[in-house]
Chains A and B, each alone.
Chain A
Amino acid sequence: DIQMTQSPSTLSASVGDRVTITCRASQSISSWLAWYQQKPGKAPKLLIYKASSLESGVPSRFSGSGSGTEFTLTISSLQPDDFATYYCQQYNYYPLTFGGGTKVEIK
Chain B
Amino acid sequence: EVQLVESGGGLVQPGGSLRLSCAASGFTFSNYWMSWVRQAPGKGLEWVANIKQDGTEKYYVDSVKGRFTITRDNAKNSLYLQMYSLRAEDTAVYYCARTDASIWSFDYWGPGTLVTVSS
Question: With A and B bound together, what is the CA distance between A94 and B37 in angstroms?
Answer: 14
Instruction: Give min CB distance, A50 to chain B, whole Å.
Output: 6
Q: Is the CB of B62 within 8 A of A43?
A: no
B47 proximity list for chain A (CB < 8 A): 89, 95-98
User: For this complex, into which size category does the number of interface residues on chain B fall?
Assistant: 20 to 34
User: For this complex, into which size category does the number of interface residues on chain A fall?
Assistant: 20 to 34
Is A26 on the interface with B (CB-CB < 8 A)? no
Contact with A along B86-107 (1 / 0, CB 8 A): 0000000001000010011111
**Across the A-B interface, how many residue pairs have beta carbons closer than 8 Å?**
59
Q: Is the CB of A34 within 8 A of B105?
A: yes
Q: Is the CB of A44 within 8 A of B45?
A: yes
Instruction: Give min CB distance, A94 to chain B, whole Å.
Output: 5
Is B26 on the interface with A (CB-CB < 8 A)? no
- Per a CB cutoff under 8 Å, which of A32, A38, A43 touches B110? A43
Q: Is the CB of A43 within 8 A of B45?
A: no
Q: Is the CB of B111 within 8 A of A46?
A: no
Question: With A and B bound together, what is the CA distance between A94 and B35 in angstroms?
Answer: 13
Question: With A and B bound together, what is the CA distance between A53 and B112 in angstroms?
Answer: 26
Is B73 on the interface with A (CB-CB < 8 A)? no
A residues adjacent to B (C-beta < 8 A):
32, 34, 36, 38, 42-46, 49-50, 53, 55, 87, 89, 91, 94-101
